[in-house]
């Protein structure tokens, strides 16, 4: 039955509809695949009993000729999403025993379409990181390895467990979150497809908050079509999130395979950063050729404030994080460490509960918001953010339909390689992804080639606000030309 | 701008995070590396530029001013490290 895990979601749905197999058999195949994949450390909590219960309910609905768009499809969920009755930790010690009494809007939409919960997936603590190395549960491991090497590689982050699980076929698809690249960078590192939708496209209600003006949920999947299918079920207006957009959700799958003839694709010259690896530069050119061959027009554009996206991001995101994470005080939930008074209780609780990267980010955020520094840092960063968004608006007003850029500056790196003394080295991972979060725009990462060492590399397409459908059409052209990226060497077995 | 060790301690206290003496020296280096990195924003001319307040233009929606949720004390307290009689329990804050 293990080949059931090889099916795309689209193929699995057909198999279920034509009764070739049941949702219970499909779910059991994934449960059997998760069990021996412990070396990947992709799941921080597997929920096989709940999964089988949900699959049984799916089978009953399918038997009656009912069922939603994801009926019987087994998914993994990043541990940022509150799941009712299922431990949700954001991979932090400070809420390591938190069991939500409510369900996030995005996951409840997935369940109402019939999806099955396989478990909660590893990530950087509070989504703060680009490798999953900051997880309180230890690093997730990339199923891909360099040719001829057994060195363990990171799956990227922060949604690294999600990307690793999708690539390793231990879930059919996953729900992740992206604040500065946390869906797209791990997707690029694992040969999977990941989309960060427009800010407001998915509800943030019930998702552990990191930086509220940047956070968005989105899917990671094994094909463009699967990602389109998942996003349709995740997106939509929610009165419980005042920033969620009250707009209808299009049928994204209908856009997959659509013509891109005459589309104008911008190549931003500022993304050709100093020291870009020749491999990444060549991949970028190849991607432009793929789109040109399908009838798109390739145009060089300028996004002059690109280099300021990362430094302004680290002010805005950390300021918002310091405020959001103030709630972890040992009073309402989480682990408490006693002190001689309430202040000492707070300080000891937070010192013991937060990992080093989270403590560092909260402190930077606190500093840039503190009296006397607010204007110099936070206000300045928000002004630069206006300019970053204006760059894109100008390009779009000039007739550009989408922007093509690399997703990451390199292929997946080794565990421990970038966790040295200088935190900025890790932050540079987000140099191509973070601009979109700052501008609120949608972006999709799609595998487009391999490094000389055999590792997958991704390209990123950036669209107009709420232009996800157009991105799926473009991404499918790249998938058709580059093929899908399957990790065949299951070394963890 | 760079921070000295007294500032690190002050920021740690504002953040309600206890730090040891050894951590202060480490954090000073790390915080200064990040602050040096963001320093480059000074190059950008932002004269007359409005700071961003909402990344996607939208009007904040208003809901009807009626009770639509609540009566969930048990659920709210379910994850509290300490609670008593339907309240969160904390160390004594008033002498």
We report the CATH number of the domain holding residue A477 as 3.90.1300.10
Judged against a pLDDT cut of 60, whether residue A210 lies above it is answered with yes
Delimit the domains of chain B by residue range.
5-38
Contacts of A200 in chain B (CB under 8 A): 56, 58
- The B residues from 18 to 57 touching A (CB cutoff 8 Å) are 18-19, 27, 29-31, 33-35, 37-44, 46, 49-56
Nearest CB to A363; choose among B15, B52, B88: B15
Judged against a pLDDT cut of 70, whether residue B6 lies above it is answered with yes
Which segment of A138-147, A182-191, A321-330, B69-78 scores lowest on mean pLDDT? Answer: B69-78
Please report the number of interchain residue pairs, chain A to chain B, with beta-carbon separation below 8 angstroms.
Answer: 172
CA A306 to chain centroid, in Å, comes to 21
Q: What percent of chain A has pLDDT over 90?
A: 94
Judged against a pLDDT cut of 50, whether residue A155 lies above it is answered with yes
Q: Which of A464, A450, A8, A476 is nearest to A255 (CA)?
A: A476
Supply A77's token pair: 């969920």
Supply B25's token pair: 């020296």
What lies within 8 Å, CB to CB, of A189 at 6+ separation is A142, A144, A153, A154, A155, A156, A160, A163, A408, A411, A412, A455, A456, A458
**Interchain contact, A200 vs B33, CB within 8 Å:** no
Q: Which of A78, A109, A196, A263 is catalytic?
A: A78
Judged against a pLDDT cut of 90, whether residue B1 lies above it is answered with no
Between CA A205 and CA A291 the distance in angstroms is 37
Whose tokens are 């999709």? That residue is: A444
Q: Are A140 and A160 in contact (CB under 8 A)?
A: yes
**Interchain contact, A380 vs B46, CB within 8 Å:** yes
3-class state of residue A456 by DSSP: strand
Within a domain: A50: yes
Q: How confident is the model at residue A421 (pLDDT cuts 50, 70, 90)?
A: low
Q: What percent of chain A has pLDDT over 70?
A: 99
Q: How many domains does chain A have?
A: 1
Averaged pLDDT, A291-304: 98
Judged against a pLDDT cut of 80, whether residue B11 lies above it is answered with yes
Q: Which pLDDT belongs to residue A96?
A: 96
- Beta strand A264-268 pairing with A402-406: parallel
Averaged pLDDT, A284-294: 98
Q: At what angle do helices A105-112 and A224-234 cross, to 10 degrees?
A: 110
In this prediction the pTM is 0.97
- Beta strand A193-196 pairing with A443-450: antiparallel
3-class state of residue B67 by DSSP: coil
Within a domain: A410: no
Within a domain: A180: yes
Within a domain: A56: yes
A78 noted as active-site residue: yes
Judged against a pLDDT cut of 60, whether residue A473 lies above it is answered with yes
Q: Which pLDDT belongs to residue A125?
A: 98
CA geometry: angle A135, A161, A280, nearest 5 deg: 105
A242 noted as active-site residue: no
Q: Which pLDDT belongs to residue B72?
A: 93
Within a domain: A291: no
CA A458 to chain centroid, in Å, comes to 14
Judged against a pLDDT cut of 70, whether residue A475 lies above it is answered with yes
DSSP state of A487: -
Residue A216: strand pairing partners: A178
CB-based burial label for B87 (10 Å; 0-12, 13-18, 19+): exposed
Contacts of B60 in chain A (CB under 8 A): 242
**Interchain contact, B50 vs A332, CB within 8 Å:** no
Averaged pLDDT, A233-255: 97
Between CA B16 and CA A362 the distance in angstroms is 10
Searching chain B, which residue's CA lies closest to the CA of residue A373?
A: B1
First to last CA, chain A: 16
Find the domain containing A92 and state its range: 2-258+471-482
A213 noted as active-site residue: no
Judged against a pLDDT cut of 80, whether residue A418 lies above it is answered with yes
Q: Which of A58, A182, A203, A451 is catalytic?
A: A182
A297-301 β-sheet, strand order: A43-46, A116-121, A74-78, A173-178, A216-221, A193-196, A443-450, A456-463, A402-406, A264-268, A297-301
Averaged pLDDT, A235-249: 96
A354 in contact with chain B, both atoms CB, cutoff 8 A: yes
Question: What is the maximal distance between C-alpha atoms in chain A?
Answer: 70
Judged against a pLDDT cut of 60, whether residue A2 lies above it is answered with no
- Helices vs strands, H then E, count in chain A: 16, 11
Supply A142's token pair: 């990339």
CA geometry: angle A121, A42, A329, nearest 5 deg: 45
Between CA A61 and CA A16 the distance in angstroms is 11
B80 in contact with chain A, both atoms CB, cutoff 8 A: yes
CA geometry: angle A483, A485, A490, nearest 5 deg: 150
Q: Are B38 and A378 in contact (CB under 8 A)?
A: no
Q: Which pLDDT belongs to residue A1?
A: 42
* Stated length of chain A: 493
Q: Which pLDDT belongs to residue A186?
A: 98
Averaged pLDDT, A64-83: 97
- Cis peptide bond upstream of B22, omega within 30: no
């Amino acid at each position: 039955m293990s080949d059931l895990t090889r099916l795309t979601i689209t193929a699995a749905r057909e198999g279920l509809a034509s009764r070739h197999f049941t949702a219970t058999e499909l779910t059991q195949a994934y449960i059997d695949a998760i069990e021996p994949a412990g070396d990947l450390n992709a799941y921080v909590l597997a929920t096989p009993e709940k999964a089988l219960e949900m699959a049984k309910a799916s089978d009953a609905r399918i038997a009656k000729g009912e069922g939603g768009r994801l009926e019987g499809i087994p998914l993994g969920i990043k541990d940022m999403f509150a799941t009712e009755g299922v431990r949700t930790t954001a991979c932090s010690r400070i809420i390591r025993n938190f069991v939500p009494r409510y369900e996030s809007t995005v996951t409840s939409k997935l369940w109402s379409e019939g999806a099955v919960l396989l478990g909660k997936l590893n990530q950087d603590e509070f989504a703060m990181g680009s490798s999953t190395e900051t997880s309180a549960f230890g690093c997730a491991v990339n199923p891909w390895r360099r040719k001829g090497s057994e060195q363990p590689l990171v799956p990227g982050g922060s949604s690294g467990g999600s990307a690793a699980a999708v690539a390793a076929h231990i879930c059919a698809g996953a729900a992740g979150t992206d604040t500065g690249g946390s869906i797209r960078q791990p997707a690029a590192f694992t040969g999977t497809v990941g989309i960060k939708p427009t800010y407001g496209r998915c509800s943030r209600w019930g998702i552990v908050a990191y930086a509220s003006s940047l956070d968005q949920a989105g899917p990671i999947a094994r094909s463009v079509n699967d990602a389109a299918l998942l996003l349709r079920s995740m997106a939509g207006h929610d009165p419980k999130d005042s920033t969620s957009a009250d707009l209808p959700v299009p049928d994204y799958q209908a856009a997959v395979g659509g013509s891109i003839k005459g589309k104008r694709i911008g190549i931003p010259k500022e993304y050709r950063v100093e020291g870009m690896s020749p491999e990444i530069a060549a991949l970028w050119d190849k991607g432009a050729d793929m789109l040109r061959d399908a009838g798109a027009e390739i145009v060089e554009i300028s996004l002059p404030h690109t280099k300021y996206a990362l430094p302004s991001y680290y002010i805005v995101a950390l300021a918002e994080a310091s405020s959001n994470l103030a709630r972890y005080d040992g009073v309402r939930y989480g682990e408490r460490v006693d002190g001689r008074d309430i202040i000492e209780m707070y300080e000891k609780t937070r010192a013991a509960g937060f990992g080093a990267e989270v403590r560092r980010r909260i402190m930077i955020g606190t500093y840039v918001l503190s009296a006397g520094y607010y204007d110099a840092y936070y206000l300045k960063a928000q002004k630069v953010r206006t300019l970053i968004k204006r760059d894109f608006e100008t390009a779009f007003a000039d007739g550009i339909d989408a922007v093509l850029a690399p997703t990451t500056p390199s292929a997946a790196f080794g565990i421990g390689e970038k966790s040295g003394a200088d935190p900025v080295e890790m932050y540079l991972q987000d140099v191509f992804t973070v601009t979109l979060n700052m501008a609120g725009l949608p972006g999709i990462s799609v595998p487009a080639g391999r490094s000389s060492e055999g590792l997958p590399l991704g390209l990123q397409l950036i669209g107009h606000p709420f232009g996800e459908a157009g991105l799926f059409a473009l991404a499918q052209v790249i998938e058709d030309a580059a093929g899908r990226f399957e990790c065949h060497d299951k070394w963890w077995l | 701008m760079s921070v000295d060790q007294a500032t690190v301690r002050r920021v740690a206290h504002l953040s309600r995070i206890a730090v040891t003496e050894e951590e202060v020296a480490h954090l000073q280096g790390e915080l200064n590396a990040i602050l040096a990195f963001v320093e480059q924003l000074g190059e950008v001319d932002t004269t007359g530029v409005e700071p961003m307040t909402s990344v996607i233009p939208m009007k904040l929606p208003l809901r009807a001013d009626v009770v639509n949720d609540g009566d969930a004390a048990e659920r709210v307290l379910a994850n509290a490290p300490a609670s008593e009689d339907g309240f969160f329990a904390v160390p004594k804050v008033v002498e």
